[in-house]
Amino acid sequence: MKRYIFKEISFCEMCGDKTENHKVLGQRLNKPQGFRPKTKTGISVTILKCTNCGLIYSNPQPIPFDLQDHYGMPPEDYWKDEYFVWNPTYFSSQIQEAKKLLDFKPGMKALDIGAGLGKAMLSMENEGFDVYGLEPSISFYERAISKMGIKKEKLKLCAIEDADYEPEFFDFITFGAVFEHLYESSKCLEKAFRWLKPNGIIHIEVPSSKWLIAKLINFYYRLIGTNYVTHLSPMHPPFHLYEFDLKSFIKLSQKLKFKIESYRYDVGSIYHFPKIFHGILKTYIRATNTGMQLTVWLRKQ
């Protein structure tokens, strides 16, 4: 049984707006809810949406006594054996975009925050970066070294909150699919910018708070007479704490003084709908920027 501290949230993590006037979306259980959430038992938290920047978050926010309770499970429980095989094309589109924005030169320093098994580190190294990594999960850290061949001196076993690097050390920093797992994400981004060289680039991929499929599932939950929502999973895998709007980063840029170089919304997967509807849904999602994932590229001013 996981143990939690439930922290009351008073201000939006991204824009600083007071939470007292934010919109209540509904309740989220500590387990998958399925099509009949009324039949499930468990602990729930209230899910809110910031009316100023669109950030979706839980209040109170459940914080585990030990981070390993969330991320200490063996990687083999997540993926099949073939996932432990590195392919040079892994993370390739992100690397090419970073190179273009950086006016790349071999030997530029990169940091992968939440490196996991280290596959993105291997791909960046293969493309000429001098690569470092952070990984808070003991099991993932060990597999990255033993199975993927990541050099121990290049990978730190710690969370970003406890990490330290020289100021203005890196040219490129990637959060990948990590930012939504950070309890104080804006403070972590501020810390990463201190490690970044002037004109350097930070890459972030996060769940979008505008995702159409989530809105449709919420509508279904209302139709069956519940106040549940599908947003987030603060107490069960994949342990998402936030969903972000582009406005979340625009508001934060005013405080941290970065420039949004580019962004995009990715359609992602279509869940819980017959395949006959997938084509129509994807067309609408592309046209309205209501995809599952938001990617932003931030430049240090």
Q: What is the pLDDT of residues 193-228, one digit of tens each?
A: 999 999 999 999 999 999 999 999 999 999 999 999
Question: For residues 98 and 155, what is the distance between their CA atoms, to the nearest angstrom?
Answer: 21
One domain for residues 53 and 186: no
Mean pLDDT of 292-299: 98
One domain for residues 114 and 225: no
CATH of the domain at 143: 3.40.50.150
Residues 6+ apart with CB under 8 A from 80: none
In percent, how much of the chain has pLDDT > 90?
86
Q: What is the pLDDT of residues 25-49, one digit of tens each?
A: 999 999 999 999 999 999 999 999 9
pLDDT grade for 85, boundaries at 50, 70 and 90: confident
Range of the domain at 148: 69-208+290-300
Question: For residues 282 and 285, what is the distance between their CA atoms, to the nearest angstrom?
Answer: 5
How large is the C-alpha radius of gyration of the chain?
Answer: 19
Residue 92 has pLDDT above 70, yes or no: yes
pLDDT at 70: 76
One domain for residues 296 and 151: yes
One domain for residues 174 and 276: no
Residue 71 has pLDDT above 70, yes or no: no
Residue 62 CB neighbour total at 10 angstroms: 19
Say if residues 84 and 256 touch (Cβ distance below 8 Å). no
Mean pLDDT of 108-112: 98
Backbone angles phi, psi at 157, to 5 degrees: -90, 90
One domain for residues 197 and 216: no
Q: What is the pLDDT of residues 184-201, one digit of tens each?
A: 999 999 999 999 999 999
Exposure of 123 in the CB half-sphere (CA atoms within 13 A): 21
One domain for residues 81 and 115: yes
Mean pLDDT (the chain, rounded): 94
pTM score: 0.94
Domain count across the chain? 2
One domain for residues 295 and 250: no
Question: For residues 297 and 68, what is the distance between their CA atoms, to the nearest angstrom?
Answer: 30
Question: For residues 111 and 148, what is the distance between their CA atoms, to the nearest angstrom?
Answer: 17
One domain for residues 106 and 154: yes
pLDDT grade for 269, boundaries at 50, 70 and 90: confident
One domain for residues 62 and 181: no
One domain for residues 85 and 175: yes
pLDDT grade for 84, boundaries at 50, 70 and 90: confident
Residue 229 has pLDDT above 70, yes or no: yes
Mean pLDDT of 105-129: 97
Mean pLDDT of 68-78: 65
pLDDT at 75: 62
Mean pLDDT of 88-92: 95
One domain for residues 124 and 236: no
pLDDT grade for 1, boundaries at 50, 70 and 90: low
One domain for residues 78 and 203: yes
pLDDT grade for 177, boundaries at 50, 70 and 90: confident
pLDDT at 24: 98
β strands within the chain, DSSP E: 4-7, 23-29, 44-49, 56-59, 61-64, 109-113, 130-135, 155-157, 170-176, 196-207, 242-243, 258-266, 293-300
